[in-house]
């Protein structure tokens, strides 16, 4: 599956920095259970808000990339929630 990180290889943007920092803090390349997904979704939401405030545009590349990554994580969470029912 293609993610914002893969689409933007070579660009110095907020989404890549966010993903790298999350992975570095966890010490791995995987994202775990729904509890951590909730934390990731919340962190991405905050990062997107900060990027918007910095860029002052909903259509700036950093905001769009974080939004795409946030969409992926929300979809993952929704799939896990539906499977758990």
Give a yes or no: residue 78 inside a domain: yes
pLDDT digits (tens, 9 = 90+) for 35-84: 799 999 999 999 999 999 999 999 999 999 999 999 999 999 999 988 88
Output 62 or 5, whichever has higher pLDDT: 62
**Residue 50 falls within a domain, yes or no?**
yes
Q: Is residue 16 part of a domain?
A: no
Residues in the chain: 85
* Domain presence at residue 29: no
Domain count, the chain: 1
Residue 62's Cβ-count burial label (10 Å; 0-12, 13-18, 19+) is buried
Per the structure, the complete domain to which residue 85 belongs is given by: 35-85
27 domain residue, yes or no: no
pLDDT, one tens digit per residue, over 62-71 is: 999 999 999 9
Give the model's pLDDT for residue 17: 57
Over the Cα atoms of the chain, what is R_g?
Answer: 13
pLDDT score of 21: 53
Does residue 85 fall inside a structural domain? yes
Smallest Cα–Cα separation from 2: which of 77, 68, 85?
Answer: 68
CA distances from 77 to 10, 13, 15, 17 (A): 28, 24, 19, 22
């Amino acid at each position: 599956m293609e993610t914002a990180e893969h689409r933007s290889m070579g660009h110095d943007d907020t989404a890549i920095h966010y993903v790298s920092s999350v992975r570095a803090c966890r010490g791995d390349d995987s994202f775990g259970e729904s509890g951590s997904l909730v934390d990731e979704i919340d962190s991405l939401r905050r990062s997107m808000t900060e990027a918007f405030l910095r860029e002052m545009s909903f259509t700036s590349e950093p905001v769009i990339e974080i939004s795409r990554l946030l969409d992926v994580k929300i979809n993952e969470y929704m799939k896990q929630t539906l499977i758990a029912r």
